Chains A and B, each alone.
Chain A
C-alpha cells in the first residue's frame, strides 16, 4: 500500500513550472490515477494549454477556493481522496498538485499555512496520495520559500527529486509554531467560569455571539465549536474550565482555558472524521467552524482560542444567493 508522498517544488518561471507539472500530471494519467491540479488561474491555463485534448481528463480547482482556510484545505484534500476511492475502479494512488496562495497573506496566516503543510505529513501519512506543492519564487515571500524545505521531505525540480536536508519533524514544527504568543486580549472581556458544566459554556458563547449580531445558526455553530474544544480538553485530564470572549474589528474571539489538561497531538484539529479517530472528531469540527483556531500552553493547562467572523463580515452577512441556488440544484 502506497503511503503519503509530499514534495515541494520551487520554480522561478513558467517553463520551470511546466517541467515539473507536466510529467507529474501525464504520468498519473498514464497510470489511470485520479489527478487533481489545484493551482493559480495562470498555472491552470498553462497546464490546460500544454495538455491539449487530455486537459479534460484532469480534475482541477482554482486554488484560492479549494479550501479557504487551512482546516478546509485539509478537508478538501480528504474529500477528493475519499471520492476517488469510492469510484468503481479504486486507484492505487491519487495525485494532487497543490499550490496554495501565499501572496498577500498576513504573517499569522502564513504561519498557519506553513503549519498545515507540516501537518499534512502527519494526518495523511497512511493515505496513498502523491502531492507536490509548487512554490513560485517570483511571488512567494522569502520566509515561505524557506519553510518549503522545512515542511516537505523532498523538493522536485523537473523530474528530479532532491531530499530536503532542512525537513523538520512535523510535530516539533507545530509545537515551535505554537510557542509564539498570541495577540493580547483587550482590557474588557466577558468571562464565564463553567467548571465542568459544558452547557454553561455553550450558553455563554451563544449569548455573546447573539449580542454581537451573529445569526442564530452561526451562533449555534460557535457554541458547538467551543463546547467541542472544552470537551476535548476535559477528556485530556482537564479539571475545570473558564472562558472569555471579546469582539474586535475582524470578528469575535472565544478563548477556552482548561486547567490540568495535557495535549499531546498538535494536529488534533486536523484529523478528518474519516480517519476514524473518535477522540479528535470534535476538534476537527471546531476547526471547520472557526476562521482560526490556536492552541497554547498556559500555566498548568491549555487554552484554545477560536476566532469567528463578526457581523461586519459582509461575505457572511450577505452570502452569494446565486451560488447557493446553483449548488442546491
Chain B
C-alpha cells in the first residue's frame, strides 16, 4: 500500500507502510535533492524499525542524492536501525560501486532488477 507524498513530471515519492519506507520513482538530481532530503527525514522520524527504500523504478540518481541516502543510513545506525535498498537498477548500483559505497555499513541491498 502506498500514498503519494510528492509528485512531479520527473520524480515521485510514495510512502510505504508495509514494510515501512518510501518508493522512489523517476530521476533524482540537484533539482530534487531538497525533496528527497525532506522525505527521507520524514521517513526516519516516522518510527518503525528498518527503513525500506523501493528504488526499483528509480531510473537515475546522482552522486549527491546517493550521498543523502548514505547519510540517512548513518542516522538510522545511531538508533540500531538499518536502511534497505530494494532492487536498484544497474545504473544506480554503478553509482554506489564507483564511489565504493556499496559496502557501506548499515545498508542492505536487495537484488537488482537486472535491467540496464
Interface positions of A (Cβ within 8 A of B): 79, 196-199, 202, 216-217, 220-221, 224, 227-228, 231, 234-235, 273-274, 278, 281-282, 284-285, 288-289
Contacts and interface: CB of A to CB of B under 8 A. Distances in A.
Contact of A285 (B27, B71, B95, B116): B95
Q: Say what secondary structure dominates the interface of chain B.
A: helix
A281 B67 CA distance: 9
A199 B59 CA distance: 12
A289 B63 CA distance: 13
A228 B63 CA distance: 7
Contacts of B95: 224, 285
B84 to A, nearest CB: 22
A198 B31 contact: yes
B34 to A, nearest CB: 12
B42 interface: no
Interface string B38-80: 0000000000000000000000101110010001000000000
Interface stretch (B15-23, B97-105, B106-114): B97-105
Contacts of A198: 29-31, 62
Candidate in A221, A282, A289 with the most chain B CB atoms within 10 angstroms: A282
Contacts of B116: 216-217, 220
Given A234-B30, A288-B98, A202 B60 contact: yes
A282 B63 CA distance: 5
Nearest to A274: B100
Nearest to A288: B98
A198 B10 CA distance: 11
A282 to B, nearest CB: 4
